[in-house]
Amino acid sequence: MNTPKSYKIGYKLFEMREDGKLFPLFISKGKETPMNEWIPAENNPTKGYASRPGWHCSMTVPDAPHLRGYDGSNLGPYKSRFKNGKRVWCEVLYNTTVDYRDEVSKLHKKCFTDKLPTNGWYLFNEGNRSTWAISDAIKVIRILTEEDRQEILRQMNYNESTAFEPYKRAFEKRMKLT
């Protein structure tokens, strides 16, 4: 794939195996994600997940409190499905050549459910969780160290504990019910 005419920096959470290979968390989770090359998205409907074709990434903050587990801490861990693996945040570029925001704003579900945002992107708001950029292509630039991630959060005046608090309360409430 050629370099898009327009792109922005974002952040995406991946699974990283012990051998350093990256994989998506949910959709196409068995397909390795290479670094430093433009990767076109695919439309792969997956049982148990809403159909929103495209690469999903955070536009500003390398944090997704709704994807954390609960271990009794104020932040909760990002748990990996791989033995000896881990979840890692990566800095990515996402294609912004064509802006589909106006088009999807008129759709019932406020997203494409059956097609990719061809040669472009749009925003998708997951209610009270977060707003994601959904694009037809990304390029993974680098894996962020925890120090890199914390510096980005500091610059954004982003408080992880505050962001995780509603999820922590929900986890604790569920634990009391069982």
Per DSSP, the residues of the chain read -PPPSSEEEEEEEEEE-TTS-EE-SSTTTTS-B-SSSEEE------TTS----SEEEESS-S--GGG---SSSSS-----SSTT-EEEEEEEEEE-SEE-HHHHHTSTTSS-SSS--TTEEEEEE-TTS-EEEEESEEEEEEEPPHHHHHHHHHHTT--HHHHHHHHHHHHHHHHHH-
Q: Classify residue 1: in a domain, yes or no.
A: no
User: Is 68's pLDDT higher than 70?
Assistant: yes
Q: Domains in the chain: how many in total? A: 1
Q: How confident is the model at residue 79 (pLDDT cuts 50, 70, 90)?
A: confident
- How far is residue 27 from each of residues 8, 24, 32, 41, measured CA to CA in Å? 22, 7, 12, 11
Q: Classify residue 16: in a domain, yes or no.
A: yes
Instruction: Say which residue, 48 or 145, is predicted with more confidence.
Output: 145
Report the C-alpha gap between 11 and 54 in whole angstroms: 15
The per-residue pLDDT for 178 is 63
Q: Which domain holds residue 37?
A: 7-177
Comparing 88-92, 146-150, 170-174, which segment has the lowest mean pLDDT? 170-174
Place of tokens 């370099």: 3
The per-residue pLDDT for 129 is 64
Instruction: Say which residue, 82 or 128, is predicted with more confidence.
Output: 82
Report the C-alpha gap between 28 and 140 in whole angstroms: 16
The per-residue pLDDT for 101 is 96
The answer to whether the beta carbons of residues 46 and 108 sit under 8 Å apart is no
Report the C-alpha gap between 157 and 43 in whole angstroms: 35
User: Is 69's pLDDT higher than 90?
Assistant: no
Q: Classify residue 34: in a domain, yes or no.
A: yes
User: Is 17's pLDDT higher than 70?
Assistant: yes
Residue count of the chain, please give it.
Answer: 178
User: Is 33's pLDDT higher than 80?
Assistant: yes
Q: Classify residue 158: in a domain, yes or no.
A: yes
User: Is 44's pLDDT higher than 80?
Assistant: yes
CA quadruple 150, 154, 156, 157: dihedral, nearest 10? 130
Q: Classify residue 12: in a domain, yes or no.
A: yes
Name residue 121's beta-bridge partners: 99, 135
User: Is 173's pLDDT higher than 80?
Assistant: yes
Q: Classify residue 103: in a domain, yes or no.
A: yes
86-142 pLDDT per residue, tens:
999 999 999 999 999 999 999 999 999 999 999 999 999 876 667 899 999 999 999
Q: How confident is the model at residue 176 (pLDDT cuts 50, 70, 90)?
A: confident
